[in-house]
Every structure is written in C-alpha cells, then in structure tokens.
Amino acid sequence: MRFGLKIGEHDLVVKLNKVSSFLEAGHKVKITVFYRGRELAHKDLGFKLADKVIQGYGDTVVVEQQPQLAGKQLSFVIRKNGSSKKS
C-alpha cells in the first residue's frame, strides 16, 4: 500500500481500512511512504507517519520489517499478530 507524505486524514483512514482487510485475510502488507521532490528534506515526517500507522494497529500487528529509507521510499512490512492463519 502506497502513502504519500502529505496524505490527508480521511484518505489515510480509507487506506488503513483496506490494509486491515488484507491483514484479516492472513496476508502480509508492505507499506511504502514515497517522497516527492523537496520532501526528502523532511525524512522525519515519513518516520512519524510510519509510527502513526503502527501505533494505530497496536498489538494486533507485528512489524516484520522495520521502517527503512531506500532512495525516495520509506518501506516497512506488517503482519497480523498470532500464529493462527486462514488456510
């Protein structure tokens, strides 16, 4: 799921609802925050957005890959907490 750095609150909620449906189906979700132009000067805003997403799910998700910046993208992978998965 791709997020822009300047995503609106409502757009964020809509995308997180879609991510929740993927997690409920037992899938891992890679979330990417992409930077455009001079937004790279504010790398900390992307990490804050990543923390906001992770904290929003609380203990229901496990961060499988910590947020890391690669070029103009900040990526991390989450999955549903628990060992029970749908077959």
Task: Give the pLDDT confidence of 55-79 residue by residue, as tens digits.
Answer: 999 899 999 999 999 999 999 999 9
pLDDT in the model for residue 38: 94
DSSP secondary structure, 13-79, as one string: HHHHHHHHHHHHTT--EEEEEE--GGGGGGHHHHHHHHHHHHHHHGGGEEEEEEEEEETTEEEEEEE
pLDDT in the model for residue 83: 54
CATH dotted code for 2-80 = 3.30.110.10
Percentage of residues in the chain with pLDDT exceeding 90? 90
Q: Which residues of the chain have pLDDT under 50?
A: 84, 86-87
